[in-house]
Amino acid sequence: MNNNTLYKRHRLTALVAASMLGLATGIASVHAEEEVETPDLSGLGSLKGIQPAPVPGLDEYVKDEKAAVLLGKALFWDMQAGSQGQACASCHYSAGADNRTKNQISPGLNNVDETKREIFDPTRTGIGGPNYTLVPDDFPFRVYADPDDRNSQVLFDTDDVVSSQGVVGGVFDELYGGSYGDPRYSDRRESCELVKDIFHVGGVSTRKVEPRNTPTVINAIFNFRNFLDGRANNTFNGVDPFGRRNQNAKVWHFNPYTEYVSMKEVNLINSSAASQAVGPPGSAFEMTCANKAFRDMGKKLLNLKPLGLQQVDRSDSVLGAHSSYPNDGLRNRYRDMIKDAFNIEYWGSNKDFDGYSQMEQNFSLFWGLAIQLYEKTLISDDSRFDRFMDGDSYALSDLEKQGLEVFVDKGKCVNCHSGPEFSKAMTHLIAEEQEEGLVERMLMGDQNTSLYDNGFYNIGVTPTKEDLGLGGKDQWGNPLSHTEQYIQKLLGNNVPDDFEVDPCTFEEKVIDQDPCNSAEQTEALKLLVIAGTERTAVHGAFKTPTLRNVELTGPYMHDGSMATLEQVVEFYNRGGNRTSEGSGDSTGFDGISSNLDPDIRSLGLTDYEKKALVAFMKSLTDERVRQEKAPFDHPQLFIPNGVEGDENYAETNINGSPREEWIEIPMIGSHGRAAKGLEPLKPFLDGVNSDYDAPGYNEPEPAPEPSYIVAKDDAFSAKYGRTTVIKPLENDVAGSYDIDLRSVVIHDAPSSLDCRYYIRSDGSISITPLKDYDMTMTYSVKDSKGNESNVATMNINVYR
C-alpha cells in the first residue's frame, strides 16, 4: 500500500490517533503543542443545525411548505395510495426501514446470469422462498468456517436477497372495478388482472419481493442521489425518477390570467428524494398493478378521505390537528391539501385533459415534492454521538469512545462513512468540498488506478455479477454512474446528467504536475480513454449508507444478508466476502480483476475492538427514533405479512384468493411509544444473534423492568354545554405499583371561560365545554409509591 497516494483519504488518521486518546478519556481540548489541533474526526460531527442542500426555484411550485409537509406525511402513510393496501410506509414503517421476517425473500433478480434470477435457494436452516419466515440462524448469507478469515472454507452461500414484500403481480385495468384484498386493508377501487409468477406457494400467489434491501428514509433527504445504485436523480423532473434522462418529462402549467395551459419542464436540483418518491407508485413490484399511471392514482386519491383506512392520533405532530379520531382518517380532502400547498399554476385549470383534470395530470409533481418536504422533517440529529460532538463528553461511554477510535483509525470506516451524515454519498460533503467531486480517481484493491463515483464503493458483499449496482443502466441505456458518463464526455459524446469534473481534484492525478493544470490533465486522460486503458470501478459499487440509527435498520447491506452489527463488523474484519472463484476475485466484472476498494482488507481487530465498534454504532441511535416521538410519530398502518400458512402451504379464502396475514402498526402520537404503553422499537430479529458468530462479546442487554407508570394519550368526545365524565386513567399502564386514583394532576387546560372541569375521587374528570371547539388538556398521575408518570394529552372533541 502506497501511503502517499492515499494521503488525502488517510491524511487525518495520524492526527486522529494522536489526539483520540485524549478525547477518549474526556479531555477533549488537547493542550500546548502548536501542531495539535482539536481532534479532527475526518468531518464526523454533530448533525444538529445541518440543513439539506437548498432547492433553488422550489417556490415556483410550492406555496406553503408546512401545508406540503402535511400532504406529504398523509400520502406517505396512506394505504389507499398503492394497490392492495400498499403505502410507502408499508416498507418504511420501523425506524424508516422494514424488519418483517415473513415473505421477505427475493430470488436474486439482479443476477447477470439470467438462469439464476428466478431460482429461490434454501436458507441455511430451511426451505426459504415465498412465505418463508427467516430466523436468526439464517444469517449471515455467506458463512465461513472462520468468520475472521475470508480464505477459510465457505460453509454456506446464496444469491437470494432479504427485502420487502410489495404487491401481488397484476396488470391494472381500470379504477372503480374493485377487486383484490380484504376491505379492511385495501380500498378495492382498482381492478387488476392478477398474473401468475414465481412468487407463490403451491399456486397460491404471494406478494412479490424487491431485489434489494430497504434502506431507511430517515436522513435520506441528505442523499445526493437516492437508491443503492443512485438511480433516483439529483434533478427532479416532476414526473419520474430519471431527471433530464427522460426528455419527455413535462408538467401542465396554467396561466390564471389567460387561462392558457402549456407543457413545462421541471428542473429542480438537490431533489433526489422527490425523484425517488415518484418511483414506487408506478412500480409493479412495490406499490401497484402494472401500467397504472400516476394520474390514475391521483384520480383515485382525490376522491377519497385521506388515510381513510387508518386512525390518526390526535397528538400527531403534523396530522393531529386534522384527525377524525376516533374515526379513521383526516377531516381534510387531498384536493384542498394540494391547493393549500401548491401554486394555482399547477392545478387551477378546470378543463379536461384526456379525461383527467390538471390536478390529476400533475399528481406526480405534488406527490414528489410533498413527500420530499415531509422527508426533510425526518432528520435524526440528537443521538448521544451528536451530544458528545456538541461538547457533552459524558454522552459516550468509554467503550463507545474506543469504538469511535476504531471507526476512525484501525477500522478505516470513516474513509467512506464520513461527515455528520456518516456517508460520503450525501449532499453536504459533495456540495461543500471541491476535492470531493462526483468523480474520483484512485488506486483500487488490485493496485491499479481507476475512476469511480465518489461515495459509491464495491466492498465485496456479494460477487459483482450478482448485482451490478451503480454499474447498471437506465431504461434508455445510459449508464447510471457519473464515471461512465464522464468517459463519454471525454470521448466527445453528450450525456444526460449535467455535471463537471476537475481532474485536479483527483487523488491519483493523470500526470505528475505542480501546479496542477486541469486542461492538461483532461487532455492526458482523454488519451488514456481513447486508448482504452483507463478503467472504471463502478460495477458492483453501492451507495454508502448512513449509519445513523443503524442499530434499528437491519437487516444490512444491499442484499439484507447480515442480521446484526456484529456480523457486519466480522465482514469488514475479514476484508469482505470476496472469495476467489477460480483464479479471480469475485468483485471484478467484464475482464477487470477487482473493483474492491483498497480499504476493504483484513483489519485484525481484537474481540474487544469489535465489541467497541458495535457499541459505537449503537450510540448513533436518536432516542426519538427508537421511541417514535415527533417528528417520527405516525398514523396507524396495516402491513401485509405473507399469507396464512408457511413456505409449504398457503391458506386461501372461499373465492380462492390468498388469505393474507396483516400486522397492525399502532398510531403513535408526538409523545412517542411510551405514552401508549408500548415498548421502544426493536432491532431486526430483536437483535438476537445466531450462535456461530458470537465470540462472547454480544450478550444481549437485559431488558429494563417496566417499573414505570405510563399515562397514555386519549381522545374523548363531549357535548357543548353539557357535563361529561371522561376516564383518562382507563388506558394508563401501571408499573410495579398500582395507580393511585387520587393523584391525578392537570397541567395544561383550557381557561375556565372555555371549559369547567373537576377531578373526581376515582380519577375520572367531569368536564363541561363552554365553547364549541376541540380542546386539549394534559395530565399526569402517580403510583402508590409516589412515582409520577409522563404527561399525557387528552384531546376532547366538542360537538353540538
CA neighbor of 406 nearest in space, from 607, 205, 656: 607
CA distance 531 to 525: 10
Residue 228 binds ligand HEC, judged by CB under 6 A = yes
Q: Please, which residue, 572 or 779, has the CB nearer to ligand HEC? A: 572
Q: Which residue bears the cell 439539506? A: 52
Q: Please, which residue, 106 or 670, has the CB nearer to ligand HEC? A: 106
Residue 658 binds ligand HEC, judged by CB under 6 A = no
- Provide, rounded to whole angstroms, the least separation between the CB of residue 223 and ligand HEC: 5
Q: Which of 52, 108, 181, 281 binds ligand HEC (CB under 6 A)?
A: 281
Per-residue binding string, ligand HEC, 187-226, x by CB under 6 A, is -----------------------x-x-xx-x--x--x--x
Cβ contact 449:546 at 8 Å: no
Can you say how many angstroms the Cα of residue 483 is from the centroid of all Cα atoms in its chain? 25
Residue 277 binds ligand HEC, judged by CB under 6 A = yes
Considering Cα of 193, then 291, then 479, then 425, what sign does the dihedral take? negative
Q: Please, which residue, 138 or 597, has the CB nearer to ligand HEC? A: 597
- Provide, rounded to whole angstroms, the least separation between the CB of residue 568 and ligand HEC: 4
Per-residue binding string, ligand HEC, 548-567, x by CB under 6 A, is --x--x--xxx------x--
Cβ contact 415:10 at 8 Å: yes
CA distance 573 to 155: 18
Q: Residues 92 to 111: which contact ligand HEC by CB under 6 A?
A: 92
Q: Which of 19, 84, 90, 690 binds ligand HEC (CB under 6 A)?
A: 90
Cβ contact 668:119 at 8 Å: no
- How many binding residues for ligand HEC (CB under 6 A)? 55
Would you call 24 helix, strand, or coil by DSSP? helix
Q: Which residues on adjacent β-strands are paired with residue 645?
A: 650
For 17, list phi and psi in degrees, rounded to 5.
-60, -40
- Provide, rounded to whole angstroms, the least separation between the CB of residue 70 and ligand HEC: 16
Distances (CA, A) of 448 to 510, 534, 537, 779: 13, 10, 10, 67
Q: Please, which residue, 88 or 744, has the CB nearer to ligand HEC? A: 88
Q: Please, which residue, 90 or 795, has the CB nearer to ligand HEC? A: 90
Residue 182's CB is within 10 A of a number of other CB atoms, namely: 16
Per-residue binding string, ligand HEC, 430-469, x by CB under 6 A, is ---------------------------x-x-x--------
Q: Please, which residue, 301 or 525, has the CB nearer to ligand HEC? A: 301
What phi-psi label fits residue 721: left (phi over 0), alpha (psi between -120 and 50 degrees) or beta? Answer: left
If you count DSSP H runs as helices and E runs as strands, how many of each does the chain have, helices first? 17, 23
Q: Please, which residue, 186 or 324, has the CB nearer to ligand HEC? A: 186
Distances (CA, A) of 105 to 102, 109, 127, 206, 638: 8, 11, 11, 11, 20
DSSP annotation of 214: -
- Cα end-to-end distance, the chain, whole Å: 78
Residue 164 binds ligand HEC, judged by CB under 6 A = yes
Q: Which of 297, 365, 416, 665 binds ligand HEC (CB under 6 A)?
A: 416
- Provide, rounded to whole angstroms, the least separation between the CB of residue 463 and ligand HEC: 12
- What would the 3-class secondary structure string for 377-416 be? CCCCCCEHHHHHHCCCCCCCCHHHHHHHHHHHCCCCHHHC
Q: Which of 6, 287, 439, 442 binds ligand HEC (CB under 6 A)?
A: 287
- Give the list of residues 6+ apart from residue 284 with CB closer than 8 angstroms, or none: 167, 169, 170, 208, 290, 291
352 CB-contact burial (10 Å; exposed 0-12 / middle 13-18 / buried 19+): exposed
DSSP annotation of 521: H
CA distance 399 to 517: 47
Per-residue binding string, ligand HEC, 600-639, x by CB under 6 A, is x------------x--------------------------
Q: Which of 45, 52, 108, 280 binds ligand HEC (CB under 6 A)?
A: 280
Residue 415 binds ligand HEC, judged by CB under 6 A = yes
Q: Please, which residue, 212 or 578, has the CB nearer to ligand HEC? A: 212
- Provide, rounded to whole angstroms, the least separation between the CB of residue 232 and ligand HEC: 7
- Provide, rounded to whole angstroms, the least separation between the CB of residue 603 and ligand HEC: 6
698 CB-contact burial (10 Å; exposed 0-12 / middle 13-18 / buried 19+): buried
Q: Which of 42, 163, 362, 449 binds ligand HEC (CB under 6 A)?
A: 163
Residue 67 binds ligand HEC, judged by CB under 6 A = no
- Provide, rounded to whole angstroms, the least separation between the CB of residue 55 and ligand HEC: 15
Q: Please, which residue, 320 or 445, has the CB nearer to ligand HEC? A: 445
- Provide, rounded to whole angstroms, the least separation between the CB of residue 297 and ligand HEC: 10
- Provide, rounded to whole angstroms, the least separation between the CB of residue 82 and ligand HEC: 6
DSSP annotation of 343: -
Residue 782 binds ligand HEC, judged by CB under 6 A = no
- Provide, rounded to whole angstroms, the least separation between the CB of residue 94 and ligand HEC: 13
Residue 166 binds ligand HEC, judged by CB under 6 A = yes
Q: Please, which residue, 254 or 366, has the CB nearer to ligand HEC? A: 366
Residue 72 binds ligand HEC, judged by CB under 6 A = no
For the chain, state the CA radius of gyration.
Answer: 28
Q: Which of 227, 342, 347, 632 binds ligand HEC (CB under 6 A)?
A: 227
Q: Residues 515 to 544: which contact ligand HEC by CB under 6 A?
A: 542-544
Distances (CA, A) of 13 to 40, 137, 412: 9, 37, 9
Cβ contact 503:518 at 8 Å: yes
Q: Residues 351 to 390: which contact ligand HEC by CB under 6 A?
A: 371
Binding site for ligand HEC (CB under 6 A): 76, 86, 88, 90-92, 163-164, 166, 210, 212, 214-215, 217, 220, 223, 226-229, 273, 276-277, 280-281, 286-287, 371, 411-413, 415-417, 457, 459, 461, 542-545, 547, 550, 553, 556-558, 565, 568-569, 572, 597, 599-600, 613
